Chains A and B, each alone.
Chain A
Amino acid sequence: MSDLTVQPPFFRRPGTQLALRYLIAIVITLFFVFPVYWLFIISLKTPDEIFAFPPVWYPKSIQFANFGVLFKDGDAVTVWNSLVLAGVSTVIAMVLGTMCAYSLVRFKTGGENLAVWIISQRMMPPIAIVFPIFLLYVFFGWVDSYHGLIILYTAFSLPYVIWMMRGYIEDIPLELEESALVDGCTRWEVLWKVVFPMVRSGLFATAVFTFIFAWNDFLFSLVLTRTEVITYTVQVTHYFGGQSNFWAKIAAMSVLGTIPVFITVATLQRYLVRGISMGAVKG
């Protein structure tokens, strides 16, 4: 019977539409993924393949010499610097930020004005902040030091942490905290023993994004480092220059700095949207 019913026109059929959507989806995904592929593939190429004309679309053999050079020259230590700076500042920002968020949520400390002020700090232009900070750090002798950058990263991350944790803390039922108080906990104990465990997944998700923001930073470390605590982003730009671009090094260093981010994001798919939308979309 179905053969006799009138079929919708070719382009209106569900099968055709789904096929079309797949086609468009694949083309779009190619556009967004290809540059990443290209970066990774350059890092695995030999110099001959990198500077081949026409370009070589895939390397004949995989070789890790470009990465070996970075480790031998000691340039790879910049990735370690990024790790220390982003890691330490994330931990501090999470603790201080969650405390602050808890106060804002439970006690309405400072009211709406304080909340607006805190989130508005997130929007400040880094260049306008870093210039006075640079002058201050010169005065203190903090330029090119771990603690100088850690303090700045922590301060710059705080609005985001406070903002995100506010959302997670609001979801905790008040009764839990009340019964803990009744059981004789002090308020600090309530915070450590009830609130922090309850927002564990929120803490985790927020920390990852805080870490990525610091990890990806360029401007602060460009201005406030010289030789000792250079981050991988600054190191990448050191390879730029005129006619003698060190393509292999640019690519290999970029890949070293990008792989950790990809791995963390891959394990965190379900927190991603809430994280990047600053909590606007609750996941």
Chain B
Amino acid sequence: MSQSATSAMVDANGVPTPPNVALAGVPPDRFFKYWLIAPAILLLLLVGIFPLIYSLVVSFQQITMMEVDTSFAGLVNYAQLFKDKRLWEALLHTGIITVIALPLELVLGLLMAQLFLERMPGRQIFVSLLVLPTVISPIVAGATWRLMFDNRYGPINQIIGWFAGEPTTLLWTVSPNLVYPAIFICEVWQWTPFMFLILLAALSNVDKSLTEAAEIDGAGYWRTFFKIVLPAIWPVMAIAILIRGLDLVRIFDVIWALTSGGPGTKTETISIYTYVQGFQQFETSYTAAIAFLVIAILTVIVVWAIRRMGLAK
């Protein structure tokens, strides 16, 4: 459809553009700029606006696996949100994972970037190898660590056994006490290199003369870091935190592969809970209410963060 619109515009504008018309000024073909964005915007509405409106509509109905009741049900589903203990636990789990994994990845990534910042022959080889976890599919990462963590045939327990001096059979993905560490290890393994790469590039771009001047003036390492280096890399660091933070809030794949939310619902995140409600329990209307809640909360956070950071400029 957009294709035919395209050729129509070209025909309509077959007349050569008069010379000396400033490109950024008032364009001679007024609708050109809208034809350019139209197809993309239409598709974005499909994922941006449609789910929001549709969730809202369905969430006011009472569609379940048993019956399809599309009459207006008021706020029944939203009232249920507040009573749903499992939902709040899922939000809590998501919060815990985000609050712990994000600083871990950031600090470890920063330390690694510092390590590789100074001249080091063969650095590129290390960097190329360190990148691998980040580009792997999260589902494959989860599957890999599932194999790694296996209590009998996995290498993790074997290695711990060497240090402990006796055979170890820790049930990493099943034991309530170990399942979160297992998730953190997998998360940190996959995404610390992401932080590392970005921060290494940011640190490399810091003006050396500034840090050297500070050192000549007698500022110590930490003072130089907090007063000069950190402000210089902050714009990039903020975006890295935003990208990773939002990925963690939405986390699904890794946990699905590693624990599927178990044991029980111990590691169920908001994304997994929504999936279970919608595609295993078939609570259509209630899931729509959850989806709407999640979209609404995240939209506010995201737009605020983007404006706050001046990302759009």
Contacts and interface: CB of A to CB of B under 8 A. Distances in A.
Contacts of A34: 155
Interface in B263-312: 270-271, 274-275, 278-279, 284, 287-288, 290-292, 294-295, 298-299, 302-303, 306-307, 311-312
Counting chain B CB atoms within 10 Å of each CB, the highest count among A31, A129, A184 belongs to: A129
A42 B131 CA distance: 21
B198 A273 contact: yes
A25 B16 contact: no
Contacts, number: 313
Nearest to A30: B129
Interface stretch (B37-45, B209-217, B222-230): B37-45
Question: What class of interface size applies to chain B in its complex with A?
Answer: 35 or more
Contacts of B37: 99-100, 103-104, 109-110, 114
A115 B312 contact: yes
Contacts of A189: 10
A71 interface: no
Interface in A115-155: 115-121, 123-129, 131-136, 151-152, 154-155
Interface in A200-227: 212, 215-219, 223
B47 A273 contact: no
Contact of B128 (A223, A240, A269): A269
B286 to A, nearest CB: 11
Nearest to B53: A132
B58 A278 contact: no
Contacts of B50: 132-133, 136
B277 to A, nearest CB: 9
Interface in B1-52: 2, 6, 9-10, 13-14, 16-17, 19-24, 27, 29, 32-34, 36-37, 39-41, 43-44, 46-48, 50-51
Interface in B207-253: 235-236, 239-240, 243, 246, 249-250, 252-253
A191 B309 CA distance: 31
Interface stretch (A4-12, A46-54, A60-68): A46-54
A261 B292 CA distance: 34
Contact of A116 (B58, B116, B290, B307): B307
Contact of A125 (B236, B256, B271): B271
Interface stretch (B69-77, B79-87, B99-107, B143-151): B143-151
A187 B25 CA distance: 13
Interface of A: 18, 21-22, 24-25, 28-29, 31-36, 38-39, 42, 50-55, 57, 96-97, 99-100, 102-104, 106-107, 109-110, 112, 114-121, 123-129, 131-136, 151-152, 154-156, 158-159, 162, 174, 177-178, 181-182, 184-189, 191, 212, 215-219, 223, 233, 236-237, 240, 247, 250-251, 254, 257-258, 261-262, 265-266, 269, 272-273, 276-278, 280-281, 283
